[in-house]
Amino acid sequence: QVQLVESGGGLVQAGGSLRLSCAASGRSFSRYVMGWFRQAPGKGREFVARLSWSGSTTAYADSVKGRFTISRDNAKNTVYLQMNSLKPEDTAVYYCAADTNNFYSSRSGDYEYWGQGTQVTVSS
């Protein structure tokens, strides 16, 4: 069982930055692929970024590439999402997720464990 708790969301002006954190329980955190997804009002959940268990391989949605950075600290059982140059269209609830089978995919169905989400609102 893996429990994930996100934090760091909030209200920011366009062009600003936020850093989201996701604290994970469980001794095997360092062996999981981790991902960030988001869901805007009235829209489906979409992939944002993912990170291999070692942290050496990352992938991003085209809409955030060059602005967002995913990273992890396995000693702290935490994964981060640094978000820079935020835009109003980045407004959404952001979720972290754990893929214990190491599919390393962008499909939400490949992630078994999810946090409760944290709201990010970007004003224009």
* Tokens 């609830």, located at residue: 93
Confidence at residue 30, expressed as pLDDT on a 0 to 100 scale: 87
Q: Which two tokens stand for residue 116?
A: 């409760």
Angle at 117 between CA 79 and CA 45, to 5 degrees: 100
For the stretch 64-87, pLDDT in tens is 999 999 999 999 999 999 999 999
3-state secondary structure of 108: helix
Average pLDDT over residues 89-118: 96
**If you count them, how many residues does the chain have?**
124
